[in-house]
Structure 1
Amino acid sequence: MGLLALALGGFGIGLTEFVIAGLLPQVSDDLNVSTAAAGWLISGYALTVAVGAMAVTATTAVLPQKPVLVALLALFVAGNLLSALAPTYGVMLLGRVVAALCHGSFFGIGSLVARRLVPPERASRAVATMFAGLTVANVLGVPFGALVGERWGWRATFWSITAIGVVALVAVAGLVPGWAGVRGRGGETGVRGGGAGSRDSGAGSRGGRTDLRTQARAFRSTQVWLTLTATALGYGGMFGAFSYLAYTFTRVAGFSSTDVAWLLVVYGSGLVVGNIAGGRGADHNRDATLLVSLAGLATTLAVFGVLAGSRPASVVLVFLLGVFGFATVPGMITRVTDAAGGTPLAASANVSASNVGNAAGAWAGGAVISAGFGYAAPLFVGAGIVAVGLGVMGVAARGAVGARGEGRRGPGGEEVQERRGTGGEEVQGRRNETAVKPTETRRA
C-alpha cells in the first residue's frame, strides 16, 4: 500500500506537468497573454524541476525522508491551489514554479523509500511501481485536462489536481511506514530495499539524516557521472524527437490534427509497458537491460525517421518509442543511487539530468527544423544523441564489471567491500574497518 501511495503522488505530479499542454489556448485567452508567454508555463516548470530537484533535496538532507515527502506534497497542493485561483499570469507562473519545486525531490527521495519497502531483488520493480503513476499521467494527462477544461474551464482542471494532491498527501502520511524513510546507525536502512540501498554506506547518516557533505562526496564516483550522462543523453534523444511529433504526424505522415491525441495515447501506453518491463529487466540484469533499451531506442528513432511518411509504421514506432524510452527509468535510478551509496541527492540529480536532457534535446530538434531539414529531422538527431548515450552506458557497464570484487570507498570515504549482481549492481556493502550487524528486516 505504501508503494501505491507513492504512485498516487507521482500521478498527481505527472498530471501537473503534462496537463497544461492541452490548456494553453484557454489560459492565454483568459489571462490575456501571448501564446509564447503561455508557453513559459511549460518551460518554467521544466527549468524549475531541473534546478530545484537537487536544491530542495540538498536543503532537506538532514531531515527524515517520510516527513519530507509529506511536506513536498503539501508544497504541490499549494502550487496547484495558486494556479487554480490565479488572477494574473504572474500568479499562475508562480503557482507552476511552486508546484515544480516538489517534482524532482519527490521522485528522487520517493524512489529510495520505495526500494526499502521490498526485498532487494525487487528494488527496480518498486521504483517502476512508483513511476507508474507518472506514466499513467502521461497517457491521461492531456486528455483529462482537455476534457475537464472544455466542460468546466481550465481552473477546474487545477482544482481537480489539487484534490488529487490532498488525497496523495493523506495516503503517503498514512500508508508509507515511518521506518521506510529512516536509516539505522552506521548508515544502514535496517529494512528491505535493494542492494546498496539496503545498507546505505554513507557515513554521517543517522536516523534518516544524511549530511550534505557526505552526499556531495558521492559525486566523486565516476559511475555516478557516467550514469547521469547516459540519463541526460537518453532523455535528450527521446524528447528531442517527441517535442515535435505532432508536426511529424501531421506534416510528414499526413495524419489530421485530431489524430494526434490518440497517437499520443499510443505513445503513453508504450511508456507504461516500458516502465514495467524495464523494472523487471533491471532486477534480473540491470546493465544489460539499460544497454538493450538504449540500443532499441536509438534504432527506433532512426527507423522512425526513415518511415515517418508511413501511417501504419508511425503508429507502431511511436509505441516502441514509448517502450524503449521509459524502460531505462527504473534501472537508471537504482544504478545512480547504488553508485552513490543510496544518497537522496544522487537520486534527485538523476531527475535533474533527465530534465536537462529534455530541454537540450528539444532545442536540438527545433534547431534542425529551423535549419530547413524538415519535420522528420529531429528523429535522426534523437537517434544520434541516444547512440552517444549508449556508448557512455557501455563504458559505465564495462567499468562496473571490472570493479567486481574490488575494494572501494563509499561516498563517506570509508573502505567498502562490494559484491555485485548480474547487472553489475551492488548487493552487499561492508565496512572494512567495522563489521556492522544487519538490523532486523521489516515488512511494509
Structure 2
Amino acid sequence: MLAATASTSEATTATAAWGAVLSMALCVALLIASEFMPVSLLTPMAQGLGASVGHTGQAVSISGLFAVVASLAVSTIAGRLNRKWVLIGLTGLMGVSLVLVAATPNFEVLMIGRALLGLCIGGFWALATSVIMRLVPTSDVPRALALMYGGQAIAAAFAAPVGSYLGGLLGWREVFWALTPIGAANLIWHLVALPSLPSRGQRGIGDMLDLLRRRYFVIALIASMLSWGSAFTLFTYLRPFLEQVTGVGVTGLSILLLALGCAGFVGTWASGRFIKGDVSRLLRLPALVMGAVTAGLLVVGGWLVVAGLLLVVWGAMNTAMSVIWMTWMSQNAEDAPEAAGGLMVAAVQASILLGAVVGGLLLDHLSIQAVLIASIILAAIAVLIVRDGRTLLKPTE
C-alpha cells in the first residue's frame, strides 16, 4: 500500500519529470556510444595497441563482465541511498572511464577503463526501468521507455559512423576524448532535472531470490539472454564482416553504420506508438527478425546494397527489442522492479560478454562466417523458448 501511494504521488509530478526522462535518454546515448565505440574502431585500436582484432574485441566483453556484477549488486550496495544521487555517481564514473580509455598507454589500462564503464552500465541499466516507472504514470511507461531508448537509437545512428569517420581522420583516442564534455553536460542535467528518488527499502538480494523462484521469469531471462547474445555476437564483429565480406572502406563503413543507426529511430518510434497492453506476443519477434537478417547477411552480405537494406531492418528491430523486453518486465515484475532490472541487465550483459568472447574466438580461429552462424543458432534457440510468449506471463492470482 505504501509503495502504491508513493507511486501515485510521484506520478502527479510526471509532467515535470519528462525532462528527467530526456536526461536519462542522453545518458543512455553516452553509455551505448561508450560501450560499443570499440566496434567501429576495432581495427585501428588493435593496431594502436599491438593486439589482434579478436583480442581487442574483449574490450567489449570486459565491460560486459563488470556490468553483470554491478547490475546484481547495485540495489543492495546503494541500500537506502537516494536513487537520484546513485545515477549521478554512475554518470560521473562513466566520465572517469572515458578519460582512462582515451589516455591509455597500454592494453591493461584500457581494460581498467572499460571495467569502470561496465560498473556504470550495469548500475544504470539495473535502476533505469524502475526509475522510469516512478517518473511517469503506468500508462506512459512504454512511451517513456521508448523515449529513453531513443538515446540508444541516437548512439547507434551517429556514434558508430561518426566514430569510424573521426577515428580514421583524427585517431581513435580523439574519439573518446570528444565524448568527455558531453558526459560532463549530462551530469549537470541530471543534477537539475532528476527529482528526489528516495530508496523504497533494501531488499535487493531477497527480491532477486524471489524472482528466481518464479518459473516464468527464469524462462524469460534465458530467452532475453539468447536474444541479445545473438544480436551482439554479430554486432561486436560487424566491422570485420563489412570489411572482409562486403568489401567496404572507412567511408562505406560509416555510411552503412549510419543507415543501421538511423533505422533505430524507426524502431523506437514504432515501439512508443504501437506497444501497448500485453507484449508477450511480441517477445519472439526480435530474435526471429534479427536472426533472419543475420542469415541473409551470411548468404548475400557481399552485395553492398542488399547488405545495407538488411542492416536497416536489423537496426530498427535492435532498438525495438529493448523496449519490448523492458515493457514486459514492467508488466510482469512490477512488485520488484529494481531486482528485476538487475537480473535482466545481468542476463543481457552476460550475453554481450559471451557474444564478444565466443565471437572473438571464432573470428581468430575459424572465420567471420562462423561468427554469423553462431549468432543465427542463438536466435533460433531464443525463438523456440519464447514460442507464443504465454509461458512468460505472470500467473494471475
**TM-score, normalised relative to structure 2:** 0.82
Matching residue of 1:346: 340
Q: Which runs of 5+ in 2 are unaligned?
A: 1-18
Distance (whole Å) between structure 1 residues aligned to residue 288 and residue 235 of structure 2: 17
The aligned counterpart of 1:336 is 329
Render the CA deviation track for 1:89-129: whole Å, top value 9, x for unaligned. 44343222222211122122122212332232221221121
Tell me if 1:138 matches 2:156: yes
Looking at structure 2, the residues matched to 157 and 67 of structure 1 have their Cα atoms a distance apart, in angstroms, of: 28
1:12 Cα shift?
Answer: 1.7
Partner of 2:232: 239
What are the within-5 Å matches in structure 2 for residues 45-444 of structure 1?
Answer: 45-149=63-167, 153-178=171-196, 181-182=197-198, 207-216=199-208, 217-256=210-249, 258-340=251-333, 341-365=335-359, 375-394=368-387, 396-398=389-391, 400=393, 403=395, 406-407=396-397
TM-score (norm 1): 0.74
Question: 1-side partners of 2:345 and 2:32: how far apart?
Answer: 13
**1:207-264 CA distances to partner (integer Å, 9 max, x unpaired)?**
5333234322222222221221111111112222333433443444444564222112
Residues 167 and 175 in structure 2, CA contact (< 8 A), matched pair in contact too: yes
CA deviation profile, 1:20-69 (whole Å, cap 9, x unmatched) = 34455665666x64346654433322322233322233311432321211
Q: Please state whether the residue corresponding to 2:81 is helix, strand or coil.
A: coil
The structure with the greater share of residues assigned to helix is 2
- Bigger shift: residues 38-47 or 101-110: 38-47
- Aligned residue identity for 2:383: L
Distance in structure 2 (CA, Å) of the matches to 1:370 and 1:156 = 28
Shift of 1:3: 0.9
Distance 1:149 1:246, change over 3 A: closer
Shift of 1:163: 1.5
Q: Which has the higher contact order (CA 8 A, sep 6+)?
A: 2
The SS at the match of 1:210 is coil
Paired with 1:159 and 1:333, the residues of 2 have a C-alpha distance of 32
Query: Conserved in 2, the CA contact under 8 Å of 1:278 and 1:289?
Result: no
Q: Distance in 2 between matches of 1:20 and 1:329?
A: 21
Alpha carbons of 1:88 and 1:294: their partners in 2 closer, same or farther (altered >3 Å)?
Answer: closer
Amino acid at match of 2:343: A
Whether contact under 8 Å (2:284, 2:388) holds in the other structure is no
Distance 1:119 1:169, change over 3 A: same
Q: In structure 1, how many angstroms separate the alpha carbons of the residues matched to 2:359 and 2:51?
A: 23
Change (3 A) 1:111 1:343: closer
What per-residue deviation string (whole Å, max 9, x for no partner) do you get for residues 383-426 of structure 1?
A: 3321221222236524528x3xx32xxxxxxxxxxxxxxxxxxx
Partners of 1:46 and 1:84 lie apart in 2 by: 19
Q: Which residue is equivalent to 1:429? A: none
1:263-291 per-position Cα deviation (integer Å, ceiling 9, x unaligned): 12222222332233234433244112223
Counting matched residue pairs gives 376
| C-alpha displacement of 1:4 | 0.8
How far is 1:328 from its partner?
A: 1.6
The structure with the largest alpha-carbon Rg is 1
CA change 1:237–1:43 in 2 (3 A) is closer
- RMSD, matched Cα: 3.0
Q: Runs of 5+ in structure 1 lacking a partner?
A: 183-206, 408-444
Structure 2 distance, partners of 1:306, 1:152, is 35
The 8 Å contact of residues 35 and 117 in structure 2, kept in 1 or not, is answered as no
Query: SS in structure 2 opposite 1:328?
Result: helix
* Counterpart secondary structure, 1:322: helix
Name the aligned partner's letter for residue 94 of structure 1.
I
Q: 1:281 to 1:58 in 2, by over 3 A?
A: farther
Counterpart residue type for residue 282 of structure 2: T
* Residues 309, 80 of structure 1: alpha-carbon distance in 2 compared, 3 angstrom cutoff: closer
CA 1:162/1:258 → structure 2, altered by over 3 Å: closer, same or farther?
closer
* 1:277-326: CA deviation from partner (whole Å, max 9, x where unpaired): 23443324411222333332333333333333433321211111122233
CA distance in 2: counterparts of 1:116 and 1:310, whole angstroms:
47
